[in-house]
Amino acid sequence: MLRKIEQGRFGELIEALLARGPLYAPVRDDRGVNFQLIRKASEPTLDFYNTLQSPKLAWFPQSEDLIRYRLAKGETKGEAISGPVAPTVVLGMRPWDVKSLAIMDLLFLGGGKEDPYWLEKRRLTTVIGYGLASEEEPDGADFFRTLNIGAADSDGSDVFLLKKDGDLLLEGITERGKGLLGELTFLKEGTEEDERYLVAAKAGGKDRKTRFFDLDANAAADKLKAVFADNTFWEKEAEGCISCGTCTFVCPTCHCFDIADETLFRDGVRRRFWDACMFTDFTLEASGHNPRPRTFQRLRQKICHKYSFYIEKFGVVSCVGCGRCTRLCPVNIDIFSLVARAVNL
């Protein structure tokens, strides 16, 4: 199922999506482009290469209320905040970000226990992926090709969006995606030529050049386990690290969180919020013992979690090569070259 609309009528598309329910889309402000909950149809933009932060916040908000309680003399009762999440659309996700959802599913829905908050939002959210057009160049920090992700992959999207000359092509991938396109009756039918363009773009996306090394996930997992005990290597790699946690906050696959209670007078919420294995107190125990007191141990944990432990546990690399951690690291630590060095040690 292929539909299209002129790029000049993008606002109309947004207007229609907004009328259906909550919509997350990329918005430009003075810092760059980020996913936001859209209020006005004029806010979103498709003129960006990559967002500063990942869109994971639509499923895993930075701060999320889990339980509501009211302190009482006898029994304090808690009530899960699981209320119906409205069917939501996330528009404009690059293929590597779409891929991150499948990686996170393994954790949040696996291990024999499902996370109801993640599950609910996954069930009710429509993903509109956004392929990289052939005239757009990948950023120098990116290495999604190393992770075998194409710049115009549509897997994991419900609807796949691609710029073509003055048009936006919209391909329905899943039943949900096709259903959504069916509702948007103002869209035009795609032509056979559009179809051919789309097929060519997807195939071409596989060949888009980013930084690349021949990554064999299982071999990398084993190698990193072997390098794990080489403190000299890790101390050197972590020399500049200031444990700021930026890399984890912008990462589409970092999922660590803390849980804390916040009470105002008698009313409170138990909420979870993003945490980072890069922080000193992440593993600090009440006894005062901390198994990872040093910076290099924490950087090692992050790298090995993504390129070794996750592979061993779930069979996939927990990284999509989006380059965000490298671009935003204040001391220029680059996971791509770090892993490449470790693997080739």
Residue 193 CB, shortest distance to another protein, in Å, is 47
Q: Does 272 bind another protein (CB under 8 A)?
A: yes
- CA 215 and chain centroid, separation: 21
Q: How far, CA to CA in Å, does 137 sit from each of 165, 279, 326?
A: 16, 34, 17
Q: Which residue number, 200 or 226, has a Cβ lying nearer to another protein?
A: 226
Output the smallest distance, CB 288 to another protein, in A. Answer: 6
Applying CB under 8 A, among 135, 165, 207, 285 the residue interacting with another protein is 285
How distant is the alpha carbon of residue 216 from its chain centre?
22
CB of 73 to another protein, least distance (A): 10
Told to check if 75 binds another protein by CB under 8 A, we report yes
For residue 327, give both structure tokens: 């671009």
Residue 130: count of CB within 10 angstroms of its CB: 26
Region binding another protein by CB under 8 A among candidate stretches 2-10, 110-118, 176-184, 199-207: 110-118
Question: Are 138 and 207 spatial neighbours (Cβ–Cβ below 8 Å)?
Answer: no
Decide if residue 136 touches another protein (CB under 8 A): no
**Residue count, binding to another protein (CB under 8 A):** 54
Residue 168 CB-density burial (10 A; 0-12 exposed, 13-18 middle, 19+ buried): buried
CB distance 253 to 267 below 8 Å? no
Stretch that binds another protein, among 10-18, 68-76, 84-92, 132-140 (CB under 8 A): 68-76
Q: Which is nearer to another protein, 163 or 305 (CB)?
A: 305
The separation between CA 263 and the C-alpha centre of its own chain, rounded to angstroms, equals 31
Q: Which of 114, 195, 216, 239 binds another protein (CB under 8 A)?
A: 114
Q: Which of 301, 306, 327, 336 binds another protein (CB under 8 A)?
A: 301
Please list every residue from 221 through 260 that binds another protein, using CB under 8 A. Answer: 225, 228-229, 255-260
Can you tell me which of 12, 15, 155, 312 binds another protein, judged by CB under 8 A? 312
The region of 19-27, 160-168, 207-215, 287-295 touching another protein under the rule CB under 8 A is 287-295
Q: Which tokens go with 257?
A: 């969180």
Instruction: Kindly state the smallest distance separating residue 69's Cβ from another protein, in Å.
Output: 4
Q: Which two tokens stand for residue 285?
A: 């125990």
CA terminus-to-terminus distance, the chain = 48
Q: Is 111 in the site for another protein (CB under 8 A)?
A: yes
Among 270, 294, 337, 341, binds another protein (CB under 8 A): 270
Q: Which of 139, 101, 57 is nearest to 326 (CA)?
A: 139
Pairing of strands 32-37, 257-264: unpaired
**Which of 107, 217, 244, 328 is in the footprint of another protein by CB under 8 A?**
107
**142 vs 135: CA distance, rounded Å:** 16
In the structure encoding, which two tokens stand for residue 66, read together? Answer: 């889990």
Distance CA 124, CA 21 (A): 11
Burial class (CB in 10 A: 0-12, 13-18, 19+), 216: exposed
Token reading at 102:
């499948």
Quickly count helices (H) and strands (E) in the chain. Answer: 12, 12
Decide: is 106 part of the binding site for another protein (CB under 8 A): no
Return the range that interacts with another protein (CB under 8 A); candidates 15-23, 38-46, 112-120, 146-154.
112-120
Nearest residue (CB) to another protein, 216 versus 258: 258
Binding residues vs another protein (CB under 8 A): 66-67, 69, 71, 74-78, 80, 82, 107-108, 111-117, 225, 228-229, 255-261, 263, 268, 270, 272, 275, 277, 282-288, 291-292, 297, 301, 304-305, 308-310, 312-313
